Structure 1
Amino acid sequence: MSVRNIFVVGLDEHNRKRLEHLRGAENYRFYGVIEPSEVYDTEIFPIEEMLSRAETLLKGFSEPIEAIVGYMDFPVSTMLPLLCERLGTRSTSLTSLLKCEHKYWSRLVQHEVIADYIPRFTAFDPFDALALQHIGEAGLYFPFFVKPIKSSGSRLGFRIESPEDFAYAVARLCEGIGTISEPFNYVLEHAKLPDDVRSVDGGHCMAEEIIGGWQCTLEGYVFQGNVVPYGIVDSIRYPQVLSFFYYRYPSILPANIQEKMQALTRQIMSHIGYDNAAFNVEYFWDEVQNRIWLLEINTRIAQSHCDLFEKIDGVSHQQVTVDLALGQLPDMPFRQGIFKVAAKFFYRVFFVDATVSQVPNAEEIETLQHAFPGTMITIQVDIGMRLSSLPEQDSYSYALAYVWMGADDEVALEENYARLAEQLHFAFEDIVA
């Protein structure tokens, strides 16, 4: 078989090595397009300029381009349909992607087919002095949750218990929403939107009824119209806060609940018309009411889950992304890894802000990784860094390190992490508690 050229938006060395272990990778040659620092470690996204540069580079490539892929959230996921259309490579349509990523449009479409599984919702303009009044007129009352129409991770998401909470959240939203609304609006200009969606651009926000319970993420793909869920990852939060503690795979949700989530996923993704691309859907299961809620749909694999699938199934689920972009049925193995359970842990601090004065050094990290075989630790901060400068953080804490671990059972997994976490030594100055 001839070598197939695959371009990856935001490719870094860590993911290059992972991609080179995919099934069939001996026949693939991976190239980066757009530096990872431009789409990941920043909150400035000049999408129009990045697309122009990428198009020039790709059209100047002297060999055939078989696929253009990405594994990151905004702006990469949103840019891909535009870039693929310009280069003639495979991707789901921009319309189907926006029916997932534009949170208000997504809720409208979900309401058409699975209304009983989504919360009450409304859109609002954070710059409107009467926004809280309009939210009440839409039938939403305290407590409720607010977030931008388009965001990344848990950034600028707030639980609202009172008018004071809303005022604080709106101030934060008005201050920070422009970094995503402006580039997202550029993408919206390229799509045919219904009138009721076009009037709700990237500068708007969502207010939603509070939902909760056991949170999980269903990973799936669509190939030639066939929706295929292939794994569910549990999302465990720190007690009493919204911040994630760890992601665990495989899920230990009851089988009937997993099956219902799979059925809902097939229904909504088929209705949207999403095709020939990977996705994931976040759900809650309210165990008390035995009720399933759809939280949101993401138009990519979850990069945080790559190592989990590799540990459990034998290969990163980037396999799905690459195979689909090449026009072939994903060759994803099942339970062929060396561990029975795996997790990504978030080592966090719950400060308002602080300056980092000490981090574990490379030798300490290497020692810990050797002590816990299969473990990977990535430190997210440097000495002298102000925590508030970290991108992609939730509104309540800062993730100082990510720790991927595998084990033979859940008890061993949690015990091993607790022992490891005790040996991760950070220190801070100028703490704002």
Structure 2
Amino acid sequence: MPDINVFVLGLDEANLPTLQEVPEAESYRFHRLLSVEELQSGEVSVPDLLARARKQLDAFEGSIDAVVGYWDFPVSTLVPLLSRHYGTRSTSLDSVVKCEHKYWSRLEQAKVIDEYPRFGKVDLSAEDPRPPEGVRFPMWLKPALSYSSELAFGVKDMDEFRDAVAQIREGISRVGRPFEYVLDQLDLPPEMEGVGGQVCLAEEALSGLQVAVEGYVHQGEVVIYGTLDSINYPGTSSFLRHQYPSALPAPVQERLRDVSSRVMRQIGMDGATFSIEYFYDPATDAINLLEINPRHSQSHAELFEFVDGVPNHHCMLSLALGRDPRLPDGEGRYRTAAKWYHRWFTDGVVRGVPDAAAIEQVEREVGGVRIDVVPQDGQALSELEQQDSYSYELAHVFTGGRDEAELREKYDRCIAALGLGAEDVRPDAARTGERR
């Protein structure tokens, strides 16, 4: 069988092994199309990225069989733009933007579901910005476009509101300004005229258990293939781990599937994967949609491989190649799996980063784990990009096991063996949202 050439926007070393574990991977040739640094560092230029990508593709002498990606903007929008030019499969650009632009996404959700928080725009140009009418404290302020919860702030009063607005004003252009180019490619509905990409959204804070629903749309059919629990560090909004499969009751998971299906049909996605984040409040039995991602979560690839036997990258690749995207169910080595986030909650300089050989030794000794260290030795945590507003990631630890107790035991062993830490730059300065 001839090689199938798959161009992956932002192909990184962490995801290459899981891409190579999908069915029929031996027939795929994976090509990096632009680096993660090019795609996500600083203020990107979509026209420049398109030109660089097209130059690389035009110089390629073989067939261009698929263009795919598993990152947020600009990757999510480059995929349909390039696919349209080269005749490869993808969902439409407007369906992606209706997910990525948080304000437009809320407008679309409101047409078909009731499971979302009160929301509204914040006028960043006002001399004294105020919360939108009807949106009450506590609330979250966030740009309509951002990376990994960057510039997203939980606020409980006007003082915190003003502080968050000041920081969003300063940083919103990094992603918002490049997104203007994408919006210019679309025929926008009346409710989106003049909104643009540099808009701030306020949403009433949600409570309860966080959960993620992963799925795809194939030939108009919405398919949910997994539901995962997201557990935070106690007393924070920062993830401690994602755990698969979800422990929520089956009736709740069925409601999540129903809401997800209605929303994705309204969005108009087809031939692509998605991931939707929710809150479920056991006290009130309420479901609330947090956000829609127009791509599957690369963070969950190992979890699906551990439990189901195939990483979720399989769905993305199959849809891009016109193949059956179905995943197996429960055919992996473990009954449950988790991705853990080892975090630091103050700025500091990283010390004691183990080399590749030391990490591999820990993985062998513990078994059923994979470790990715985020910073480099001697790096200041505040130099890391795409961190949330309250913490820094030192390492990601993937664990598979028979139950939650085994997942936790493996994680604890890995963290103890790694010995990762940071020397605090300001010992008394726990992060309060300031960006340096």
Shorter-chain TM-score bucket reads: over 0.9
Say yes or no: does 1:414 pair with 2:432: no
Q: Which residue of 2 aligns with 1:33?
A: 33
Q: Separation in 2 of the partners of 1:195 and 1:131?
A: 24
1:125 aligns with 2:123: yes
Superposed, 1:244-259 pairs within 5 Å as: 244-259=239-254
- Secondary structure at 2:389 match in 1: coil
Instruction: Confirm or deny: 8 A CA contact 2:6 2:29 kept in the other structure.
Output: yes
Deviation at 1:175, TM superposition (A): 1.5
Give 2:146's aligned amino acid: S
* Letter paired with 2:382: S
1:218 aligned onto 2:213 = yes
344, 368, 373: which one pairs with 2:367?
A: 373
For residues 22-69 of structure 1, what are the alpha-carbon distances to aligned partners after superposition, in whole Å with 9 as ceiling and x for unaligned? 1122222221111222124x2332221011111122133222211110
User: Structure 1 pair 14/233, CA: closer, same or farther in 2 (3 Å)?
Assistant: same
TM-fit CA distance, 1:363: 4.4
1:199 paired to 2:194? yes
1:382 aligns with 2:376: yes
RMSD: 1.5
> Displacement, 1:271?
1.5
Q: CA deviation at 1:216?
A: 0.9
| Alignment map for 1:20-99 (pairs within 5 Å) | 20-40=20-40, 42-99=41-98
Q: Which region of structure 1 is more displaced relative to structure 2, 419-428 or 144-153? A: 419-428
- 2:25 is aligned with what amino acid? A
Kept in 2: contact 1:23–1:331 (CA 8 A)? no
Q: Deviations over 1:346-387 (max 9, x none)?
A: 001111x22223333444423321221021111111232111
> Which runs of 5 or more residues in structure 1 are unaligned?
none
Kindly tell me the number of residue pairs found equivalent between the two proteins. 427
Per the normalisation by structure 2, the TM-score is: 0.94
Amino acid of the structure 2 residue aligned with 1:227 = V
For 1:9-408, what aligned pairs fall within 5 Å after superposition? 9-40=9-40, 42-114=41-113, 116-132=114-130, 135-136=131-132, 138-351=133-346, 353-408=347-402
SS across alignment from 1:92: coil
List structure 1 runs of 4+ shifted beyond 6 angstroms. none
Do the aligned residues in 2 keep the contact of 1:224 with 1:275 (CA within 8 Å)? Answer: yes
Q: In 2 relative to 1, CA 220–36 (structure 1 residues): closer, same or farther, beyond 3 Å?
A: same
Q: Which moved more, 1:73-82 or 1:417-426?
A: 417-426
- Assess, with a 3 A threshold, how the Cα gap between structure 1 residues 357 and 5 changes in structure 2: closer, same or farther: closer
**Once the 2 structures are TM-superposed, how far is the Cα of residue 298 of structure 1 from its aligned partner?**
0.3
SS in 1 for 2:70: coil
Aligned partners of 1:153 and 1:271: how far apart in 2? 25
- 8 Å CA contact 2:39, 2:49 repeated in 1: no
Distance 2:160 2:292 in 1: 27
Q: Is the 8 A contact 2:5 2:30 kept in 1?
A: yes
Aligned residue identity for 2:266: H
- Residue 167 of structure 1: CA displacement? 1.5
Q: Distance in 1 between matches of 2:76 and 2:422?
A: 36
Stretch of structure 1 that moved more, 156-165 or 53-62:
53-62
CA distance in 1, matches of 2:366, 2:127: 54
Greater shift in the superposed pair: 422-431 or 65-74: 422-431
1:82 alignment partner, SS class = helix
Cα drift, residue 429 of structure 1: 4.4
